[in-house]
């Protein structure tokens, strides 16, 4: 195995294969651990923090603050009948401290896993001057395989109007670290990041407007799910503009004004802050790849089904290949690349990657949408169950629905879409069923515990046949 001595030089014992991973986010650390488990000598180079964007600046801190905001809103509004909370206040600095504690606990946990697996971690910038050579610090190392896991960065936003660069214009990373909560905010982008920040800030009492250029929020989601989300956000006080174009953005002395043209007409929106959430782009610059011949398309590494680039022995996993910018997809890709390198059959189904949005309500889906099935001319049946008929949802005073899309001939499940409480936990059942090419009958014939929201999945499956019990 490899070790780093105090001088930063890397020493190694003889192993069957030497693998170097560049990047310590979910894709990188999963690839490193899997390769080590399969017998490789592994070095992981990460110039910043282990855990990457997801753990340190994205998913984990965002969900931690979302939980704080949810609890605060429920307490302030006395959301649970019979429980009266007086003089509720928010200590934002304590919430930020708790967020950092969660990040550190998980980051330390990942570091411990890497160490236990025998992976050598080097906190240095890594370059790839040649396909089998990696420069880490002052050392040039040779490897049998290199895995690029360089992640992604916030996509830049170009707006018409004057310069709007100040502390009042922030991206998602800055929003997670803000010292003070603004009284009002304009969010540019109604995708996953924009929607989750909208929910978090609204729960904290921030007047919120969301501007999305596409015809619907969450452009990749099923249209019915997106419409339901828009309705609930608006019912809670958000101003939501879809099919919207920003005509002008002006930075004022104490605010930002954005002029928007949408199906609602042209309107000028003023707020104390503007959050740009127009997505993320593959981070493929600064890796010294100029002489390698590795192919990129629209800034992303091009890979095959096993995540190998056009250069033999060089793989690209996670956000940097642009296939599915989700942490769980990145982990699966990292594992599959490591398995392929080590000559083990890779286990991954790239067509079945669940998506989870921690909005209000939660949204989760896997497989095809109705608009995709219609576009491909596939005949399908729809089973739908409203959570107004689900005991657990009534107990929790929440709404939503579960929708199952099934092949009209054999009943194979083609897509499942959930808007409601615990959607992010429930979607795994659908993914397992679809991964096994299961049918709606497989769901119907599986007893679901009561009272749980997951019963709604079975009811939706029964609705495909028009025979729900509680619908």
Write down the catalytic residue from 98, 417, 450, 470. Answer: 450
The C-alpha angle 457, 463, 468, rounded to 5 degrees, equals 85
Element (DSSP H or E) covering residue 209 = strand 207-211
Closest to 258 in 3D by CA, of 172, 167, 188: 188
> Residue 313: what are its φ and ψ, rounded to 5°?
90, -5
State both tokens at 163.
Answer: 């310069």
State both tokens at 286.
Answer: 């600064």
Q: Are 262 and 243 in contact (CB under 8 A)?
A: yes
Euclidean distance between CA atoms 45 and 69, whole angstroms: 35
Task: Say how many residues make up the chain.
Answer: 471
DSSP-H helix ranges across 351-419: 370-375, 391-395
CA–centroid distance for 281 within its chain: 13
State both tokens at 448.
Answer: 């679901």
Is 422 an active-site residue?
A: no
Rounded to the nearest 10 degrees, what angle do helices 192-203 and 223-235 cross at? 20
Euclidean distance between CA atoms 364 and 354, whole angstroms: 7
> Residue 190: what are its φ and ψ, rounded to 5°?
-115, 30
Q: Are 265 and 455 in contact (CB under 8 A)?
A: no
State both tokens at 208.
Answer: 């919120």
Closest to 51 in 3D by CA, of 26, 27, 74: 26
Closest to 27 in 3D by CA, of 46, 9, 12: 46
Residue 63 in 3-state DSSP?
Answer: helix
Q: Are 230 and 377 in contact (CB under 8 A)?
A: no
* Residue 112, number of CB atoms within 10 A of its CB: 10
Euclidean distance between CA atoms 320 and 193, whole angstroms: 18
Euclidean distance between CA atoms 285 and 460, whole angstroms: 46
Active-site residues, by number, are: 450
């Amino acid at each position: 195995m490899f070790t780093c001595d105090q001088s930063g030089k890397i020493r190694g014992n003889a192993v069957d294969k030497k693998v170097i991973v560049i990047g310590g986010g979910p894709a990188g650390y999963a690839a490193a651990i899997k390769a080590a488990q399969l017998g490789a000598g592994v070095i992981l180079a990460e110039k910043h923090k282990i855990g990457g964007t997801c753990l340190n600046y994205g998913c984990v801190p965002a969900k931690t603050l979302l939980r704080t905001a949810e609890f605060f809103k429920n307490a302030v509004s006395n959301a649970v009948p019979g429980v009266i909370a007086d003089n509720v206040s928010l200590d934002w600095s304590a919430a930020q401290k708790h967020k950092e504690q969660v990040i550190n606990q998980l980051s330390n946990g990942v570091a411990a896993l890497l160490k236990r697996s025998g992976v050598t971690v080097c906190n240095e910038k890594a370059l790839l001057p040649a396909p089998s050579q990696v420069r880490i610090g002052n050392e040039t190392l040779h490897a049998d395989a290199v895995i690029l896991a360089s992640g992604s960065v916030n996509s830049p936003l170009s707006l018409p109007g004057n310069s709007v660069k100040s502390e009042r214009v922030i991206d998602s990373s800055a929003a997670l670290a803000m010292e003070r909560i603004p009284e009002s905010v304009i969010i540019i982008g109604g995708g996953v990041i924009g929607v989750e920040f909208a929910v978090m800030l609204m729960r904290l009492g921030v007047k919120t407007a969301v501007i999305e250029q596409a015809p619907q929020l969450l452009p990749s989601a099923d249209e019915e799910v997106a419409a339901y989300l828009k309705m609930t956000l608006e019912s809670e006080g958000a101003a939501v503009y879809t099919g919207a174009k920003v005509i002008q953005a002006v930075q004022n002395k104490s605010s930002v004004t954005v002029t928007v043209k949408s199906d609602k007409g042209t309107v000028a929106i003023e707020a104390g802050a503007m959050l740009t959430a127009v997505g993320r782009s593959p981070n493929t610059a600064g890796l010294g790849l100029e002489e390698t011949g590795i192919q990129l398309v629209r800034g992303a590494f091009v890979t095959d089904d096993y995540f190998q680039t056009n250069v033999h022995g060089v793989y690209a996993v996670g956000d940097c290949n642009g296939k599915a910018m989700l942490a769980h997809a990145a982990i699966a890709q990292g594992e599959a690349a490591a398995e392929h390198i080590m000559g083990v059959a890779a286990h991954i189904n790239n067509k079945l990657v669940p998506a989870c949005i921690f909005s209000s309500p939660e949204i989760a889906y896997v497989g095809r949408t109705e608009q995709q099935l219609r576009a491909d001319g596939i005949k399908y049946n729809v089973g739908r169950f409203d959570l107004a008929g689900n005991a657990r949802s009534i107990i929790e005073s929440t709404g939503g629905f579960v929708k199952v899309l099934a092949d009209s001939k054999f009943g194979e499940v083609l897509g499942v879409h959930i808007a409601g409480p615990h959607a992010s936990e429930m979607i795994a059942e659908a993914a397992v069923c679809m991964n096994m090419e299961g049918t709606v009958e497989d769901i119907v014939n599986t007893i679901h515990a009561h009272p749980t929201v997951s019963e709604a999945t079975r009811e939706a499956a029964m609705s495909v046949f028009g025979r729900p019990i509680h619908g």
